[in-house]
Amino acid sequence: MASADKPRVWFITGASRGLGRSLADAVLETGDRVVATARDMDALAELPDRYPGQAMAIAHDVTHTEQTANAVDQALAEFGGIDVLVNNAGYGLLGALEELSEEDLRRQFETNLFGALNVTRAMLPHFRERRSGHVVQISSLSGVVPNPGEGAYAASKFALEGMSESLAQEVAHLGIRVTIVEPGPVRTEFAGRSLSRADPMDDYADSVGQVREFLNQLDGSQPNDPARVARAIIRATEQDVPPLRLPLGEQAFAQIRDHLAERCRELDETKSLGLETAFAG
């Protein structure tokens, strides 16, 4: 059964594997249509065969502006409109800032932030013309509560979240909605072979080294089921007033709540100092 009276069209980036693929599969099972994009077309090739007329696969690198524009044009030509954009393409990068090269840092931002910006900007004229549409940004628990060694990854997600909060205010009056998804650990390859790692330095063994070991142990035993995560995202887009932020998983809710409580405590502690900045009188 479709998730609405008329099947919706979803444009999902990074849909070849992991959460993106789980979401594409879950959306197709509802009867909605999917434009699945990824750099690896081999991993997407069977989707249109399994769902003829319902699924479309496009080779697409989100860091290439021209490819992005062409992908959106192809999707519109095939289905006539797009209802939900999911900016899922991205990857994790682990390493102390001193361990990372400038190329590591720039590549992380090009994919996780500027890639999402490219696709969002390409989609906005269509959404604006229709006075409807939903932008779903796949962030992370680390986009709110970072760990040592996640400086580059967390920074890219912090930036994505800040951009998305501003965007939500810019486009609300146009009927366009924005949801930032903040999953805790999901059982995909994200903490395993998909995670890019810098060469470790001994001096960071007591901070970043502990996170490296934790992720090694976590890989394959993450508590959150990608199929259930996908269904939660779908349900959020069906709400009359969808949430701006959607934490997913017990760990996400607990750590974000603790983080916000600590921020409030720090506000109270620094109030006497921070409020002394106005002109006298």
Domain boundaries of the chain, sorted by first residue:
9-251
Instruction: Read off the pLDDT of each residue in 235-240 and give the average, rounded to a whole number.
Output: 97
How many angstroms separate the CA atoms of 118 and 48, rounded?
A: 25
Q: How many CA atoms lie within 13 A of 93 on its CB side?
A: 25
Both structure tokens of 25: 């599969």
| Catalytic entry in 139, 140, 142, 156 | 139
Mind listing the pLDDT tens digit for each residue in 173-211?
Answer: 999 999 999 999 899 777 667 788 999 999 999 999 999
* C-beta separation of 24 from 15 below 8 A: yes
Consecutive H or E run containing 46 = helix 46-50
Query: Catalytic: 6?
Result: no
| Confidence check: pLDDT of 1 > 60 | no
pLDDT digits (tens, 9 = 90+) for 36-61: 999 988 989 899 999 999 999 999 99
Name the CA dihedral angle for 64, 68, 71, 72, rounded to a multiple of 10 degrees.
180
Q: Which of 140, 142, 153, 204 is catalytic?
A: 153
The answer to whether residue 157 is catalytic is yes
CA distance 87 to 14: 8
Residue (of 258, 275, 233) closest to 24 by Cα position: 233
Q: Is the pTM higher than 0.85?
A: yes
Architecture of domain 9-251: 3-Layer(aba) Sandwich (3.40)
Active-site choice (140, 142, 156, 157): 157
Maximum pairwise Cα distance, the chain: 73
Which pair of tokens denotes residue 171? 């486009």
Residue 227 CB partners (closer than 8 Å, separation 6+): 22, 25, 26
Length of the chain: 281
